[in-house]
Structure 1
Amino acid sequence: MVRINYLLLLLLLVAAKASSQTNIVVKSPNQKISFNLSVQKNKLSYFISGNNIKVIEPSAISMALDLATITEGVTLGKAEVYELNEQYPWYGAHSTARNHYKGAKIPVSKGSLNYFLDVRVFNDGAAFRLIVPGKEQQKRIADEATVFTLPKGTAAWYHDLYMHYEGVYEKRLLDTVKAGQWAAPSVTFQLPGSKLYVAITEADLKNYGGMALQSNGRRGMVLRLPQNQPTSYPYKLRYSPEDTLKRSKPAAITGTIHTPWRVIMIAENLNSLVNNDMVHNLCPPPDKQLFPEGIKTAWIKPGPAVWKYLDDGGESSVANMKEFSRMAAELGFKHNILEGFWRRWSDNELQDLVNYSKEKGVGIWLWEHSKDLWDAGKRQAFFKKCHDMGIAGLKLDFFDHEGKDVVDLYQDILKETAALQLMLDFHGANKPTGTERTWPNELTREAVKGMEASKLADRAGHNVTLPFTRFIAGHAEYTPVHFGERRKNTTWAHQIATAAIFSAPLLTYAASPQNLLNNPAVEMIKSIPSIWDETIVLPGSAIGEAAVYARRKGDTWFLAVINGSKPKKLNIPLSFLVRDAYQTLEVKDTQGNTGALTLENKTYGKADSIELELGEGGGYIARFGL
């Protein structure tokens, strides 16, 4: 009997070993990128390779539930592989997103606990998340400390958490970054000895706290959840100490836990980085009941907007806002954003403005403080009233935190406004995580140090960093274009060019509509789209130095160039054009006068090139039409 039991146990051990995996590799469809998972030193470990280079060196995947680590002392099961290759309409760097990956759902066991690591590898990056099953009413507190270790000599562009997501990016050699320093995703890296870029962020954030990154002093960026993050200055400024204490406590998650996707974008050049679709690809498509035509649903109306806030613009009266709507229509803009002064009006006055603006083809948006949206009954009544009055959209402000309950509030707002056909602009917000694919009624969110930052001395250097850092994660409400003192060390041409580079489906201009109409380049301003069919980041672009963009809408191409703080000469071949001759409108700097510009009408074709000599904060924009 003893011998039989021994043989049975031996067979069970052999079977268990046969069913477990020691190393699992998931490769991209083109086989150039691989995600490698194993158990090293008793811990769940991974590394990521791209083009035969380890872009993420061996690092620990770390998660705890109720203070107990679940990623140590584990075994791996047989992966369930899957694949997807699809395309869908998009409002971003291009009008069609490509979602092509190979995936693996990998069983992980720690004692009696069984969960999954879900991995997807694209041709331009890799992503993973943890899925921990739980009973319907089971509440657990999650924490994570996964590490992203970069190679020696890697450069990083990031800002800290002091101003939440409204900081100034700085370049650092990762080897020199001390332990404890904070970084707000998306963080962009450039690997040594190559042109390979990496960007790290998260996707599909819901029912969970948002992640930040913290240096471990050994070239590793460690994932930190809100209970471990410092509270930002904007949150402390606007909320009570009791609110701050509440948000600093770990949040309980009910039922099965899905972490957000941990996203590692990999690009051979800046063009590939800007055109990366991973963040929104990792989010579910929109509900056809709410959005029958997806982002093309009739009431979703992208377009430029006028805004009375940063550029005077006169009285905060109904009559003046009617004039703003009239000028918006003259500019071909679709929206008029009202700050909180609308609350001083009667319902009849607001309805009068809405009706007048609608006749002009302009939608009215109303600003509201997010603190007034926590009461579900009051929030829903406000949304219903806006719907009944014909309000087009809402600008909701001052979230300033990524705690789980704040993230839950975003989700409630998105669902409730979608049901009432209201568009959204989140201000004072956290980073985008691709959920605008699921909820296309979100047309933009701030999470950027934009034109509202009046004391930003080196606006030129900041502007040429953002396209390759913050904008990699998704749309941003920078509120571009200002012809006054706020533009700092940038020219008028630079300012106009930013409207074509800092794109968002809702493109809100900082300059008053009257100043836009008075500008000599008003014809160019009127023609700049808020959404694009194609984007090409051209040679000459470099993070923190210059951004050179060719963008297409229909048959019309735009060339937009913004320069940083150092003078730069550029030779730009026009080989992105498809025809031999285009009627071209050029907006150039005026030498010796940053507050003026030069207009020229020329003919260019695909065999031509353009020579530019740009000073500090210089700019250029051209429109190539048939």
Structure 2
Amino acid sequence: MISHLNLGVALAVAVAAVAPAAQAGLSSPDGRLVVSVRVAQGGVTYAVARDGKPVLLPSALGLSLEGADFTQGLVLAGLTAAKPVSDKYQMAVGKRRSISYAANEQVYTLRNAQKQTMEVAFRVSNDGVAFRYLVAEPSLPLKKFTGESTSFAFAKSAQAWLQPMSVAQTGWKNTNPSYEEHYQMAIPVGTPSRMKAGWVFPALFKTGDTWVALTEANMDGSFHASRLQADSSNGVYRIGGPAEPEVFTGGALLAESTGTLATPWRVLAIGSLPTLVNSTLGTDLAAPAAHRAASAPALPQPGHASWSWALLKDDHTVYDVQKKFIDYAADMKWDYTLIDADWDRKIGYEKVQELAAYAAAKNVGVLVWYNSSGAWNQTEYSPKGKLLTREARRAEFERLQAMGVKGVKVDFFAGDGKSMIAYYIDILKDAADYGLLVNFHGATLPRGWSRTYPNLMTAEAIKGLEFTTFTQGDQDAVVRHMSMLPFTRNLFDPMDFTPMVFADIPNIKRATRNGFELAESVLLLSGIQHFAEVPEGMATVPPYVKAFLQDLPRSWDDSRFVAGFPGKFAVIARKAGNAWYVAGINSEDTDKTLDLDLSFLGKRTGMLLTDGAGQREFTQSAFAAGKASKITIKPHGGFVAVFK
């Protein structure tokens, strides 16, 4: 990322400190988005317009540090000229492999009454706005964060789609917060969260004909993760921070630095719904891939995995069952199998090494589960406590590498405190040194980490399929929940929802049709897609469905929003090589007939896999691409169309 630590020597505009007010505007490359920053009466606000219409009303900027207040009594001490910034990068995991980013950037230097300075860097791209604070003030040897006044003010007529933030130390075995609540949909802005901890990122809003998705990016372990506060009176949402228990035992809660204190980028994807869903801002603003030595082991690649625990639970984490799931993965031409909690006690290291060798002979990699926790919750699943120190963690990863294990699923983190965010990153760095992929569960939103740390394949941070196996209420809710995810949680970051069941869920009546379940395999983005269905359930599907899942791409070269509305339906196209996969779901209770614009596919004719007459039936037929390709999706149903 571009440094702004010495901007004082390169100011393009000098602004007199005595000026009572100053205002400036920064436009996107296409001129449609404009950010206006205003310094008046000692306070600083910013506002955003799209095509000349307000999107974000004047909203507060400012930080509080121990020994420095940058929220009031401020003057504009300097302003750089707007300049273009650009970036190109590759992603192994996500909606697009080759990504280009272009924006205009401007940096505002603010000075408080004590003559201390803070910079606010803004970037405006065609699909959104990002800003962050930088404090390099030499009079503060230790820059210790105490608060932030950043807000996002929406018109009272706007609507919101938001997930409540669970309160720390609540839930099963005190494992919250884990970003595992259902979204509240199309609620008036200003509706308070039902949980005092607030709302999680990404947060979705609609104001007029414009959509806004709020998140943050570029978490390097030096700063805590944020959320929106519970109270948003008059449509003004304010940045909130983690609660006291959300730390690594004995570690820091809030950011502090002896060098430059840099916040994450506050990211606002802005535009039409297609603009939002096609955006990559969540990784555009993340740091580039961390440098790895030429001698470092190659990282495992994205893939699909079998997984016994989703439907069979704890009692089946035993040698014979895991061997069966290796055979299942091999039969499905999948890349991995995941051996879940308590494998060390129920199978043992030596026998897992046997399984890894058996799997390798079938071109299947073995992944194993770990309990991240120390004293911050009451979980007992093991291996536990083996990742808490760098020495122990690296010894464990070295042992896994020698066993032939390809990656780890690490569960039960404590939340969003600075020391906990640093713990995530320490795990990612050490795992990469031993060629291990990583999957975080019971975890925070990744916030662009899959770009910076390419061994991060996926993360939970969602009320996933496992909850639908616990209660009928969660199963019934998953229908609408699923059509929220492409617009929110899975918008920028990989998500381990662990999708897809075609047959039975023990003690639960499934709420979805099989076409809906099949569509999840394309709609949901995850570097490792852990499929929940077991061999017996897979045996119930037609051969053409099995063949589709055997050949399904492991990663995508491009993606395109086709149609949809949060909580109602979603249709997205994804490209791998020369093939396009178009997938859609209908979360409503009646048939939905759509005229899909598939003209970008040319005059291709593809194969449509969708629901038959019954809940668990499939049909297969030819499907022509065009300007208005008509399709009817059954209630709680879905489809996949493949164009090769």
Offset at residue 250 of structure 1 (A): 4.4
Match of 2:511 in 1: 489
- 1:134–1:290 CA distance, 2 compared to 1 (3 A): farther
Contact 1:395 1:425 in 2 (8 A): yes
Residue type at the aligned position of 2:548: M
Match of 2:261 in 1: 257
What is the DSSP-based 3-state SS (H/G/I as helix, E as strand, rest coil) of the residue aligned with 1:326? helix
Offset at residue 599 of structure 1 (A): 2.5
- 1:321–1:178 CA distance, 2 compared to 1 (3 A): closer
Contact 1:316 1:341 in 2 (8 A): yes
**Structure 2: distance between partners of 1:602 and 1:377:** 57
Residue type at the aligned position of 2:237: M
Contact 2:86 2:101 in 1 (8 A): yes
Q: 1:466 aligns with which of 460, 464, 485?
A: 485
- 1:317–1:244 CA distance, 2 compared to 1 (3 A): closer
Contact 1:558 1:622 in 2 (8 A): yes
Match of 2:5 in 1: none
Q: Are 1:156 and 2:169 counterparts?
A: no
- 1:134–1:412 CA distance, 2 compared to 1 (3 A): farther
**Structure 2: distance between partners of 1:57 and 1:326:** 57
**Structure 2: distance between partners of 1:292 and 1:85:** 30
Contact 2:609 2:621 in 1 (8 A): no
**Structure 2: distance between partners of 1:311 and 1:305:** 14
**Structure 1: distance between partners of 2:533 and 2:43:** 54
Q: Are 1:588 and 2:610 counterparts?
A: yes
Q: Are 1:320 and 2:321 counterparts?
A: yes
Match of 2:561 in 1: 537
Residue type at the aligned position of 1:23: Q
- 1:146–1:487 CA distance, 2 compared to 1 (3 A): farther
- 1:427–1:524 CA distance, 2 compared to 1 (3 A): same
**Structure 1: distance between partners of 2:310 and 2:102:** 42
Match of 1:45 in 2: 45
**Structure 2: distance between partners of 1:577 and 1:49:** 30
Q: Are 1:303 and 2:317 counterparts?
A: no
Contact 1:504 1:530 in 2 (8 A): no
* 1:460-492 Cα shifts (integer Å, max 9, x gaps): 111111111111231111001023235732111
- 1:217–1:181 CA distance, 2 compared to 1 (3 A): farther
**Structure 1: distance between partners of 2:249 and 2:405:** 36
**Structure 2: distance between partners of 1:249 and 1:421:** 30
- 1:574–1:26 CA distance, 2 compared to 1 (3 A): closer
Contact 2:586 2:592 in 1 (8 A): no
What is the DSSP-based 3-state SS (H/G/I as helix, E as strand, rest coil) of the residue aligned with 2:283? helix
**Structure 2: distance between partners of 1:292 and 1:219:** 53
Residue type at the aligned position of 1:624: F
**Structure 2: distance between partners of 1:460 and 1:84:** 41
Offset at residue 86 of structure 1 (A): 3.1
Match of 1:210 in 2: 225
Q: Are 1:436 and 2:450 counterparts?
A: yes
Offset at residue 326 of structure 1 (A): 2.2
- 1:254–1:374 CA distance, 2 compared to 1 (3 A): farther
* 1:41-94 Cα shifts (integer Å, max 9, x gaps): 311111112221221110111210027521311122122544222332223122
Offset at residue 317 of structure 1 (A): 2.8
Offset at residue 459 of structure 1 (A): 1.4
- 1:245–1:465 CA distance, 2 compared to 1 (3 A): same
- 1:137–1:607 CA distance, 2 compared to 1 (3 A): closer
Query: Within 5 A, what are the aligned runs for 1:21-36?
Result: 22-36=22-36
Contact 2:202 2:488 in 1 (8 A): yes
Q: Are 1:186 and 2:189 counterparts?
A: no
Offset at residue 298 of structure 1 (A): 4.9
Residue type at the aligned position of 1:382: E
Q: 1:394 aligns with which of 403, 408, 415?
A: 408
Q: 2:460 aligns with which of 437, 442, 446?
A: 446
Superposition RMSD on alpha carbons, in Å? Answer: 2.7
Residue type at the aligned position of 1:444: T
Q: Are 1:220 and 2:236 counterparts?
A: yes
Match of 1:268 in 2: 272
Larger CA deviation: 543-552 vs 316-325: 316-325
Match of 1:567 in 2: 590
What is the DSSP-based 3-state SS (H/G/I as helix, E as strand, rest coil) of the residue aligned with 1:310? helix
Match of 1:503 in 2: 525
- 1:64–1:154 CA distance, 2 compared to 1 (3 A): same
**Structure 2: distance between partners of 1:157 and 1:184:** 11
What is the DSSP-based 3-state SS (H/G/I as helix, E as strand, rest coil) of the residue aligned with 1:351? helix
**Structure 2: distance between partners of 1:348 and 1:175:** 55
- 1:210–1:176 CA distance, 2 compared to 1 (3 A): closer
Match of 1:4 in 2: none
- 1:527–1:343 CA distance, 2 compared to 1 (3 A): same
What is the DSSP-based 3-state SS (H/G/I as helix, E as strand, rest coil) of the residue aligned with 2:466? coil
**Structure 2: distance between partners of 1:360 and 1:20:** 72
Q: 2:116 aligns with which of 108, 113, 116?
A: 113
Larger CA deviation: 451-460 vs 490-499: 451-460
Q: Are 1:479 and 2:498 counterparts?
A: yes
**Structure 2: distance between partners of 1:115 and 1:16:** 16
**Structure 2: distance between partners of 1:22 and 1:244:** 43
Q: Are 1:600 and 2:620 counterparts?
A: yes
Report the TM-score when normalising by structure 1.
Answer: 0.88
**Structure 1: distance between partners of 2:642 and 2:509:** 23
Offset at residue 175 of structure 1 (A): 4.3
* 1:125-158 Cα shifts (integer Å, max 9, x gaps): 0111111115696252332121100122111000
Match of 1:74 in 2: 74
Larger CA deviation: 600-609 vs 146-155: 600-609
Offset at residue 398 of structure 1 (A): 0.7
Offset at residue 305 of structure 1 (A): 0.9
- Consecutive unaligned residues in structure 1, runs of 5 or more: 1-13, 236-242
Q: 2:134 aligns with which of 128, 131, 135?
A: 131
Match of 1:7 in 2: none
Residue type at the aligned position of 1:446: E
Residue type at the aligned position of 1:279: G
Contact 2:225 2:418 in 1 (8 A): yes
Offset at residue 513 of structure 1 (A): 3.9
- Consecutive unaligned residues in structure 2, runs of 5 or more: 1-13, 167-175, 374-384
* 1:495-545 Cα shifts (integer Å, max 9, x gaps): 111111012111111112442244222122223324222222223x11111
Contact 1:146 1:223 in 2 (8 A): yes
What is the DSSP-based 3-state SS (H/G/I as helix, E as strand, rest coil) of the residue aligned with 1:184? coil
**Structure 2: distance between partners of 1:118 and 1:244:** 31
- 1:437–1:311 CA distance, 2 compared to 1 (3 A): same
Q: Percent identity?
A: 25
Offset at residue 32 of structure 1 (A): 1.3
- 1:468–1:256 CA distance, 2 compared to 1 (3 A): same
* 1:298-353 Cα shifts (integer Å, max 9, x gaps): 52400111111122288433333222122212212111111023202343322211
Offset at residue 183 of structure 1 (A): 1.1
Contact 1:63 1:70 in 2 (8 A): yes
- 1:487–1:291 CA distance, 2 compared to 1 (3 A): farther
**Structure 1: distance between partners of 2:295 and 2:235:** 46
**Structure 2: distance between partners of 1:40 and 1:466:** 40
Report the TM-score when normalising by structure 2.
Answer: 0.85
**Structure 2: distance between partners of 1:426 and 1:245:** 19
- 1:583–1:127 CA distance, 2 compared to 1 (3 A): closer
**Structure 2: distance between partners of 1:281 and 1:559:** 25
